Structure 1
Amino acid sequence: MQNQNKRKIEVFTAGCSVCEPMVEMVKSMACSSCEVIIYNLSQPCDMKECLEKLQEYGIKALPAIAVNGSLLSCCQNKEISMEALKNAGIGQAA
Structure 2
Amino acid sequence: MTVKRKIEVFSAGCPVCDEAVELVRNAACPSCDISVLDMRQIDVAQRAKALGVRSLPAVAIDGRLADCCSTRGIDEATLRAAGLGRPLSS
Which TM bucket (shorter chain)?
Answer: 0.7 to 0.9
- 1:10 counterpart (8, 11, 36): 8
1:32-71 CA-partner distances (Å, limit 9, x unpaired): 11000110224x37xx2x1231121011110000001110
Aligned residue runs from structure 1 range 1-94, under 5 A = 1-3=1-3, 6-42=4-40, 44=41, 48=43, 50-93=44-87, 94=89
- Percent identity of the aligned residues? 39
Cα RMSD after superposing both structures? 1.5
Write the letter of the residue equivalent to 1:20: D
Distance in 1, Cα, partners of 2:20 & 2:7: 13
Could you tell me how far 1:73 is from its partner in structure 2?
A: 0.8
Distance in 2, Cα, partners of 1:82 & 1:25: 30
Distance in 1, Cα, partners of 2:27 & 2:38: 19
TM-score, normalised relative to structure 1: 0.83
Unaligned runs of 5+ in 2: none
Query: Partner of 1:91: helix, strand, or coil?
Result: coil
Count how many residue pairs are aligned between Structure 1 and Structure 2: 88
Could you tell me how far 1:82 is from its partner in structure 2?
A: 1.2
Unaligned runs of 5+ in 1: none
1:10-37 CA-partner distances (Å, limit 9, x unpaired): 0001101111111011111111110001
TM-score, normalised relative to structure 2: 0.87
